[in-house]
Structure 1
Amino acid sequence: MIRIILTLLAWGLSFTADSAVIMQYHHVSSDTPAITSVSPKQFKAHMQYLAQEGFQVVPLSTIVESIRKGQDLPEKTVAITFDDGYQNIADNAHPILKEYGFPYTLFVATDPIEKNYSEMMSWETLLQLTQEGAELANHTLGHEHLLRRLEGEDKVNWLKRIESNVLETESLIAQKTGVSLKILAYPYGEYNSDIQNLLKQHGYAAVGQQSGAAGPYSDLTAIPRFPVAGPYAKLQSLKVKLHSLNMPVLSISPAEPELGASQWRPTLTVTLDMTDIAQQQVMCFIQGQGAKQPTWINKNQFSIQADTDLSAGRSRYNCTSPSRATGNYYWFSQPWFRPLDNGEWPAE
């Protein structure tokens, strides 16, 4: 029995060392939309918890390179990211991050900066932050919905436009900072396999907005992050996520997150490495529909399907399971992007 326990602990520590949690923030302010905001007080509490619990806060680029090279990360590795480049990050978040000595990543859409939008940081401010712990990365030119084609635009020209957008943004960031990380944050978390393949051709990594821990089982062009805002900003629930593990997903089918016509209840088949996972403890959740027991196909493969049509727009299937060794939760999320019945995308 002791040998079994020690073996499980060794497995658990191995998986833990391969996991990293990426936090995604937008606003740090009490005066911005709650759904994308945390208050400065909440943010301070989050950072204080990371410091007190001994989390290893590293730049996102460190995690990406570790995954790319198959290198282990320190236990309790975390990256802090911000999307869009709002001025309140410089005003409210940066002083707290500087106090704790935490590096962080800013994903910036460059058009609003070039146009001097009042709510966005200027290049001068951004460059100052890069000298004090920040790194800048790509969030496209104008925070476009990448899946949406222009009127009359065919697939070839749509993909050329996306390619030009990403490369132009990266070029401008490199011109301003002297650094090109080649890490894209998908605006709205939206992407498909065509965009992923395009990014791979150019040597990019990319992060989404689907939840879960990152690690060796992550697709480098679909790295998960935990959104931290609104109802997801509560420290008690955030603690569970900060200790989460990279779900050992060997394969998924379909891997395409963009749903085609009438595929509104996709069946997702997942194959796992079950070394540290018990079948009966795997539980899934359909966004907007609640908990869903997986259907096991064999000892390490299951499927899940929504009971009713997914809503138009963005949805997710989440699956979790406690580690047999540590009790921390493996966490995996598959995003889905569904147009309206007429093929158009919902207005936002």
Structure 2
Amino acid sequence: MPVPILVYHQIAIPPARRAPFRSMAVHPHAFRRQMRLLKRIGFQGLSLREALPYVNGRKTGKVVAITFDDSYANVHENALPVLRECGFTATNFVVANQIGGRNEWDLPLGVAPSPCMDLAQLRDWIAAGNEVGSHTMDHARLPELSTEAAWNQIFLSRMTLEDTIQCEVSAFCFPYGDQLPVHRDLAVEAGYSVATTTSRRRAMKLDDPFGLPRLTIRRNDTWLHFLRKCLVG
């Protein structure tokens, strides 16, 4: 059974119209409605680590994987309580050099500064049963880097996160979905178990575990569009 892997960015009141990437901010009320809807129709929301056996066919069930890119502090504030309320878990892909920092990679594009989770918030996230994954050291576009520099972004981020949070980090997310076959190979070599892209469909048993597709949830998704993504992909 195909498994929807959802990806969110910010869970916050969207910025003013015409702001860059406004669609990436999902209103907290909308996020709560979406999670409650999933629970009402019988889905169990899981971290990527917990959802993998369903993706590869070792388990069966009505599950959806929930992921967040960039580790925004507003995810801790606005999404974590909802996940707890619903009994769901999720994966948070962290930019290792921005723990307690902000979205530096977005600022040249005109995106407003937004803080990232600090160490205390990450520990709270983990204590609630959620997963932390890596999103490189600096939210780098890997195809623009040398192989050595890409390796440093992929491998050192895992080491840095594990040293910082004192937990295993086994999931990786390619920033912007940008990757080449060599980058998948580097993720394998770096010791990850799985990596995600931005291909827009549900994950299936025969998918490369280092190229899993995800479905982006956006500000203007209606409840019907949201359900369609989960049920059809």
Whichever residue aligns with residue 161 of structure 1, its letter is A
- For residues 60 and 38 of structure 1, the distance between their equivalents in structure 2, rounded to whole angstroms, comes to 20
Whichever residue aligns with residue 205 of structure 2, its letter is P
Pick the aligned partner of 1:73 from 37, 53, 60.
60
Task: Indicate whether 1:230 and 2:219 are aligned.
Answer: yes
What is the CA-CA distance between 1:184 and the residue it aligns to?
Answer: 0.7
- Tell me: higher relative CO, structure 1 or 2? Use CA pairs within 8 A at least 6 residues apart: 2
Q: Could you list the per-position Cα deviations for residues 100-135 of structure 1 after superposition, in whole angstroms to 9, with x for gaps in the alignment?
A: 111111000011216577611101111111111321
Pick the aligned partner of 2:9 from 13, 26, 31.
26
Matches within 5 A, 1:306-345: 331=233
Q: Could you list the per-position Cα deviations for residues 46-73 of structure 1 after superposition, in whole angstroms to 9, with x for gaps in the alignment?
A: 01101100102222112235546x5133
What is the CA-CA distance between 1:210 and the residue it aligns to?
Answer: 1.4
Q: Could you list the per-position Cα deviations for residues 294-341 of structure 1 after superposition, in whole angstroms to 9, with x for gaps in the alignment?
A: xxxxxxxxxxxxxxxxxxxxxxxxxxxxxxxxxxxxx5xxxxxxxxxx
- For residues 66 and 40 of structure 1, the distance between their equivalents in structure 2, rounded to whole angstroms, comes to 28
Matches within 5 A, 1:141-180: 141-149=137-145, 158-180=146-168
- For residues 44 and 85 of structure 2, the distance between their equivalents in structure 1, rounded to whole angstroms, comes to 15
Pick the aligned partner of 1:42 from 21, 30, 44.
30
Give the superposed CA RMSD.
1.9
Find the counterpart in structure 1 of residue 121 from structure 2.
125
Find the counterpart in structure 2 of residue 219 from structure 1.
208
Matches within 5 A, 1:198-217: 198-204=186-192, 205-217=194-206
What is the CA-CA distance between 1:189 and the residue it aligns to?
Answer: 0.9
Whichever residue aligns with residue 145 of structure 1, its letter is R
- Cα pair 1:23 1:81 within 8 Å, conserved: yes
Q: Could you list the per-position Cα deviations for residues 247-304 of structure 1 after superposition, in whole angstroms to 9, with x for gaps in the alignment?
A: xxxxxxxxxxxxxxxxxxxxxxxxxxxxxxxxxxxxxxxxxxxxxxxxxxxxxxxxxx
Runs of 4+ aligned residues of structure 1 deviating over 3 Å after TM superposition are 65-68, 114-118
- Give the secondary-structure state (helix, strand or coil) at the position aligned to 2:92: strand
Whichever residue aligns with residue 217 of structure 1, its letter is L
- For residues 139 and 7 of structure 2, the distance between their equivalents in structure 1, rounded to whole angstroms, comes to 16
- For residues 36 and 71 of structure 1, the distance between their equivalents in structure 2, rounded to whole angstroms, comes to 33
Find the counterpart in structure 1 of residue 81 from structure 2.
95
- Cα pair 2:100 2:115 within 8 Å, conserved: no
- Cα pair 2:27 2:219 within 8 Å, conserved: no
Whichever residue aligns with residue 133 of structure 1, its letter is G
- Give the secondary-structure state (helix, strand or coil) at the position aligned to 1:136: strand
- Cα pair 2:14 2:23 within 8 Å, conserved: no
- Cα pair 1:116 1:122 within 8 Å, conserved: no
Unaligned runs of 5+ in 1: 1-15, 150-157, 245-330, 332-348
- Give the secondary-structure state (helix, strand or coil) at the position aligned to 1:20: coil
What is the CA-CA distance between 1:178 and the residue it aligns to?
Answer: 2.5
Q: Could you list the per-position Cα deviations for residues 223-265 of structure 1 after superposition, in whole angstroms to 9, with x for gaps in the alignment?
A: 011000134x221111112113xxxxxxxxxxxxxxxxxxxxx
- For residues 175 and 81 of structure 2, the distance between their equivalents in structure 1, rounded to whole angstroms, comes to 26
- Cα pair 1:103 1:134 within 8 Å, conserved: yes
Matches within 5 A, 1:292-307: none
Unaligned runs of 5+ in 2: 16-20, 104-113
How many pairs were matched up? 217
Q: Closer, same or farther in 2 for the Cα pair 1:202/1:119, shift >3 Å? A: closer
- For residues 169 and 72 of structure 1, the distance between their equivalents in structure 2, rounded to whole angstroms, comes to 30
- Cα pair 1:30 1:38 within 8 Å, conserved: yes
- Cα pair 1:25 1:83 within 8 Å, conserved: yes
Q: TM-score, normalised by structure 1?
A: 0.59
- Cα pair 1:61 1:181 within 8 Å, conserved: no
Whichever residue aligns with residue 187 of structure 1, its letter is P
- For residues 122 and 225 of structure 1, the distance between their equivalents in structure 2, rounded to whole angstroms, comes to 26
More helix by share: 2
- Give the secondary-structure state (helix, strand or coil) at the position aligned to 2:79: helix
